[in-house]
Structure 1
Amino acid sequence: MHLQDKLSDKDLQRISELIYQRAGIVINSQKRDMVYNRLSRRLRDLELTSFSDYIKQLEASPNSEEWQAFINALTTNLTSFFRESYHFPVLAEHARNRPNYSVWCAAASTGEEPCSIAITLDETLGRSIIGPRVWATDIDTEVLKKASNGVYKLSDIENLTLEQKRNYFLRGSGAQQHLVKVRKELLASIRYQQLNLLDAKWDVPAPFDAIFCRNVMIYFDQKTQEHLMQRFATMLKPGGILLAGHSEHFSTTNGPFSLRGQSVYYLSRDK
């Protein structure tokens, strides 16, 4: 089997249309190499030799499992523990005087962000709630498997404090001494599930006190961003906050949110 050498303009255009329809992700011609490299693996696994054949297979079976593999291949999952760390003191301060505090992490990726949220809440509030206080969702089923397992490289937690490492992680032994596992008590405070932000219904237990949706909206066009901001507003309790990525900026003119601080949005009706 020999894979075709190029991804044609026509095939790239159709792939862009399909991922936009299914996941709201905008892919332009500058992402050609990324699309080629990531989907080439799918073609090899399916023993296909052309992107046009792959597209035909997707279109012929709109409910097939390959659609999820297609989405998984084209989503980007860059994350780390306490990434964009300035948000976590904001979260801690916000949580202090609000009972039954709950957070929706809308782009869980491999679990570092929801774990960072859960650690912050545990340090701030203690274990006052039995069961999940962080609902962590992602469109990508593969990253959710890793997140649910809670296993990471020792180097992934090198920037955490010694106390955080001791309280929230167990180190492997022998051949696994380079790995750590999230302690079961912390993992129990997080509920992972698959969710597409474009779905008409979000099956999460709203309303929340805070929503983390960081470094996701940059992959959507403005129309989709505005639509999601309106929907997020309906998922928050009065006085709730939405935390976005550092490179994401949303107009608050006539919208449901007002910007206070670095990419921290409060419901406008609570000014």
Structure 2
Amino acid sequence: SASKKTMLEARLRKRLRCLDMESFSEYCDYLFSPRGVKNELIHMIDVVTTNKTDFFREPAHFDYLFHTALPELIASRGSGIRKKLMLWSAGCSTGEEPYTLSMVLSEFAESHPGSAINYMILATDISTKVLEQAKLGIYEYDKIEPIPMEFRKKYLLRGKDRGKKLIRIIPELRTVIKFRRLNFMEGDFGMREPMDIIFCRNVIIYFDRPTQEILLNRFCRHLRPGGYIFMGHSETLHGLNVPLVQAAPMVYRKPM
């Protein structure tokens, strides 16, 4: 649309000024040159990417995760050795989603001591800028409003400089999250272990329908049978040929 074109041009003009270039055609020629692909592509991605995210965004998903998905996954593993759950926040942005997942998993483990679980969360994004921010786990105080008060007391640390009003996620939640850059269009995702749960909310909406189908099938190849995929409310699987069945609104499961 015209409004999106205007927004894109405004963001890219920042890069033109940094590179002392006068036109978008000059910038495009540079961007797709071998030197540009190596040195500029990451900067371009950082300025044009929209990074809207919040803690506990779409809270019904986290209620379903706690009360239904996690108990079913634990039960399907049976008794015995500690059960390591693998979760993937596929478009993690500045980290609010994976840290929310870590809070929910920590609460579940605490409230189900007999479940003997541990977990690891992979958090990926195409933007190196937001990944660096996510790794720090530091947020302005107004960002934590969606976090329940009892969680704030357990999982957040106040900054020493009270004038800046910053908080930080506690180390115990940060250490179970591995952040890395991933471009969905580069083919193999490089996963070493299959995932039990994938959050790819508001990720595929930016692609056309054929590409959405390709990406979702790639996600499914990295999902264990019986595993769950959580989608955004603006996304739909209608008309896509993917091996998933609906388990709840915008929650899908790979058949066993």
In structure 2, how many angstroms separate the alpha carbons of the residues matched to 1:65 and 1:182?
Answer: 32
Structure 1 contact 171–177 (Cα < 8 Å) conserved: no
Q: In structure 1, what is the equivalent of residue 213 of structure 2?
A: 226
1:86 to 52, 55, 60: 60
| Residues 131-189 of structure 1, C-alpha deviations (whole Å, 9 max, x = no match) | x6110000010000000000001111122222201111100133555100111110001
| Residues 26-85 of structure 1, C-alpha deviations (whole Å, 9 max, x = no match) | xx5542111111101111111111111111111222532201111222211100000011
Runs of 4+ in 1 over 6 A off after TM superposition: none
| Residues 95-132 of structure 1, C-alpha deviations (whole Å, 9 max, x = no match) | 135231121110000000000111111101249566x6
Secondary structure of the residue aligned to 2:184 is coil
Runs of 5+ in structure 1 lacking a partner? 1-27
Structure 1 contact 135–204 (Cα < 8 Å) conserved: no
Q: In structure 2, what is the equivalent of residue 70 of structure 1?
A: 44
Count of equivalent residues? 241
| Residues 189-243 of structure 1, C-alpha deviations (whole Å, 9 max, x = no match) | 1110000111211123331111000011110000110001111111111110110
Q: 1:121 to 1:32 in 2, by over 3 A?
A: same
Q: In structure 1, what is the equivalent of residue 25 of structure 2?
A: 52
Secondary structure of the residue aligned to 1:101 is strand
Secondary structure of the residue aligned to 1:52 is helix
Q: Is 1:112 aligned to residue 112 of structure 2? A: no
In structure 2, how many angstroms separate the alpha carbons of the residues matched to 1:129 and 1:176?
Answer: 39
Secondary structure of the residue aligned to 2:123 is strand
Secondary structure of the residue aligned to 2:185 is coil
In structure 2, how many angstroms separate the alpha carbons of the residues matched to 1:232 and 1:195?
Answer: 13
In terms of fraction of residues, the more strand-rich structure is 2
Q: In structure 2, what is the equivalent of residue 144 of structure 1?
A: 131
| Aligned sequence identity (%) | 37
Structure 1 contact 252–258 (Cα < 8 Å) conserved: no
Q: Is 1:95 aligned to residue 70 of structure 2? A: yes
In structure 1, how many angstroms separate the alpha carbons of the residues matched to 2:106 and 2:39?
Answer: 37
Matches within 5 A, 1:101-250: 101-126=85-110, 133-250=120-237
Structure 2 contact 191–222 (Cα < 8 Å) conserved: no
Runs of 5+ in structure 2 lacking a partner? 75-82
1:49 alignment partner AA: E
Q: 1:49 to 1:201 in 2, by over 3 A?
A: same
Could you say what the CA RMSD is over the residues aligned between the two structures, in angstroms? Answer: 1.8
Q: 1:252 to 1:86 in 2, by over 3 A?
A: farther
Structure 2 contact 213–241 (Cα < 8 Å) conserved: no
In structure 2, how many angstroms separate the alpha carbons of the residues matched to 1:139 and 1:229?
Answer: 17
1:102 alignment partner AA: M
1:258 to 218, 236, 245: 245
